[in-house]
Amino acid sequence: MKHMNRTYEDVSTYEHWTADKFLPGGIVNDPGNSMMYITGGWRSNRPVWNKDNCNDCMLCWVHCPDSAILVENQKMVDIDFEHCKGCGMCAVECRFDAIEMIVEPDSLSAEGGN
């Protein structure tokens, strides 16, 4: 496999980094810490859930890399937009046309700016 021409920082000292050390983009330094960050701000596309088409098959829950599909009593109840990064995996995997991806600003205006 051909490696891209990149340089890598020694992240073991990240607690002492100043702002100039952080490259553009997200950096997760410790495993399992994503719940502590509001990563939904990275999103440029947003999943819109059509509850009427959903049959709670949980395919989206299985495939969501951010655990952003919210489930209660074995039923999908919402999407956690504080953590959903808008990858679109849920929309690809849903077999029932219950999730559509739209551009984030469109969704904000459709939902009254929330």
Do the Cβ atoms of 26 and 66 come closer than 8 Å? Answer: no
Per CB under 6 A, the list member of 34, 42, 48, 88 interacting with ligand SF4 is 88
Per CB under 6 A, the list member of 47, 74, 77, 103 interacting with ligand SF4 is 47
**Single-letter residue type at 79:** I
Residue 60 within binding range of ligand SF4, rule CB under 6 A: yes
Closer to ligand SF4 at the Cβ: 11 or 38?
38
Residue 66 within binding range of ligand SF4, rule CB under 6 A: yes
DSSP string covering 63-111: H-TT--EEEETTEEEEE-TTT-----HHHHH-SSS-EEEEEHHHHHHHT
Fill in the DSSP letter of residue 3: P
Residues that bind ligand SF4 (CB under 6 A): 47, 49, 54-60, 64, 66, 68-69, 76, 79, 84-90, 93-94, 96, 98-99
